Structure 1
Amino acid sequence: AGWWLMHCHLTFHSEVGMAALLHVGQVEDLPPVPAGFPTCGHFMPEI
């Protein structure tokens, strides 16, 4: 279970969108997030 990146062997192709993210299994199958694991913010600019 987990998230898997499927991509072409050329880095450039991944950069231009020739990749896919696959989620295998259920949320319950994933291990818990470690304590103190960093999180991403959002990408919306302040207006």
Structure 2
Amino acid sequence: DCGSKIGFLTANVVYALDRDDIREGFLKELRKIDLGDSLQVAAE
């Protein structure tokens, strides 16, 4: 669903993970992201 900003981002992630030709490259890029304290803040 691309009716919201979160929906847009989620749809793009799902699309990338569903594609055999780009999945590994996408995962490689995701692993480079330093989330730092972002996950802790989001959980609160």
Q: TM class, shorter-chain normalised? A: under 0.3
- Bigger proportion of residues as helix: 2
TM-score where L is the length of structure 2: 0.27
* Max Rg structure: 1
TM-score where L is the length of structure 1: 0.27
Larger RCO (alpha carbons 8 Å, 6+ apart): 1
- Bigger proportion of residues as strand: 1
